């Protein structure tokens, strides 16, 4: 997978203050995420037919559209004025509008990342690394899952690690997010041979092997949306 440089130009600015620039970045991000998930709703539903109850794509699509409608319908005076508050608003929206287990899981991740971002002054690679780590820990705690359980975390955790490694090397955020997308994609693909240890797929036991996890796949798309302008790209 390759992401052209032009596609990351719209991403979060590196080393901008965590003020209006990062607020706008996150607003643009969640809209790209919604478009990308909508394009892959059928794929996510199909993956979920094998492992769950076949509605992961529909749930994510409906949930993200609801979140964006809520943002759009919020009167300007009541809209979040910082990135952390916006992330928390998105998180609460996901909790209440994404059906199934993934709403609370993704919602908790966004909410906790939002609490972290509220306290930071800079929006750079190290900040995003920390936000991803906070999100991954929150999701693991909420879902009581570990890497290798065949869940969302199998894409989120490697993405967080990739951003941290990039931050440690002093890479700009655009490079970090490209590496995170690759890591999330590898984590997503690596769920295929795993036996599920969480969620509805748990009941399948050995029969869960050979199917890619829909949650790890939607997580890859959410990371990809952060690194790109959201143009169609099959998560193959």
Identify which of residues 52 and 91 has a Cβ nearer to Mg ion in the complex.
52
**Is residue 215 at the binding interface for Mg ion, with CB under 5 A as the rule?**
no
Strand pairing report for 122-123 and 16-17:
antiparallel
Identify which of residues 166 and 216 has a Cβ nearer to Mg ion in the complex.
216
Alpha-carbon dihedral sign for residues 29, 177, 222, 81? negative
Cα separation, 38 vs 49, whole angstroms: 17
Identify which of residues 87 and 98 has a Cβ nearer to Mg ion in the complex.
98
Cα separation, 78 vs 67, whole angstroms: 15
Alpha-carbon dihedral sign for residues 59, 62, 231, 22? negative
Identify which of residues 106 and 132 has a Cβ nearer to Mg ion in the complex.
106
Stretch that binds Mg ion, among 15-23, 46-54, 140-148, 220-228 (CB under 5 A): 46-54
Q: Which of 44, 6, 11 is nearest to 27 (CA)?
A: 11
**Is residue 55 at the binding interface for Mg ion, with CB under 5 A as the rule?**
yes
CA distances from 113 to 52, 71, 89, 136, 227 (A): 27, 18, 11, 9, 17
- Least Å distance, CB 100 to Mg ion, is 4
- Least Å distance, CB 103 to Mg ion, is 10
Cα separation, 19 vs 10, whole angstroms: 16
Identify which of residues 48 and 154 has a Cβ nearer to Mg ion in the complex.
48
- Least Å distance, CB 55 to Mg ion, is 4
92-121 residues in contact with Mg ion (CB under 5 A) are 100
Name which position in 53, 122, 205, 209 contacts Mg ion (CB under 5 A): 53
Residues forming contacts to Mg ion in the complex (CB under 5 A) are 52-53, 55, 100
């Amino acid at each position: 997978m390759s992401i052209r440089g032009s596609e990351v130009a719209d991403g979060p600015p590196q080393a901008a203050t965590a003020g209006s620039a990062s607020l706008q970045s996150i607003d643009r991000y969640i809209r790209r995420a919604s478009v990308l998930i909508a394009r892959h709703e059928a794929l996510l539903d199909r993956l979920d037919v094998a492992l769950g109850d076949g509605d992961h794509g529909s749930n994510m699509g409906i949930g993200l559209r609801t979140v964006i409608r809520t943002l759009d319908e919020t009167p300007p005076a009541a809209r979040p004025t910082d990135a952390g508050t916006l992330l928390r608003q998105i998180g609460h929206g996901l909790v209440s509008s994404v059906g199934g287990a993934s709403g609370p899981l993704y919602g908790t991740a966004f909410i906790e990342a939002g609490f972290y971002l509220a306290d930071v002054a800079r929006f750079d690679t190290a900040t995003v690394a920390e936000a991803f780590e906070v999100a991954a820990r929150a999701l693991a705690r909420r879902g009581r899952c570990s890497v290798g359980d065949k869940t969302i975390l199998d894409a989120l955790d490697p993405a967080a690690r990739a951003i941290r490694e990039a931050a440690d090397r002093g890479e700009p955020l655009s490079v970090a997010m490209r590496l995170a997308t690759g890591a999330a994609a590898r984590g997503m693909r690596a769920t295929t041979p795993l036996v599920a240890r969480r969620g509805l797929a748990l009941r399948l036991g050995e029969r869960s092997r050979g199917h890619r996890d829909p949650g790890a796949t939607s997580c890859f798309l959410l990371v990809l949306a952060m690194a790109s302008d959201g143009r169609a790209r099959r998560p193959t």
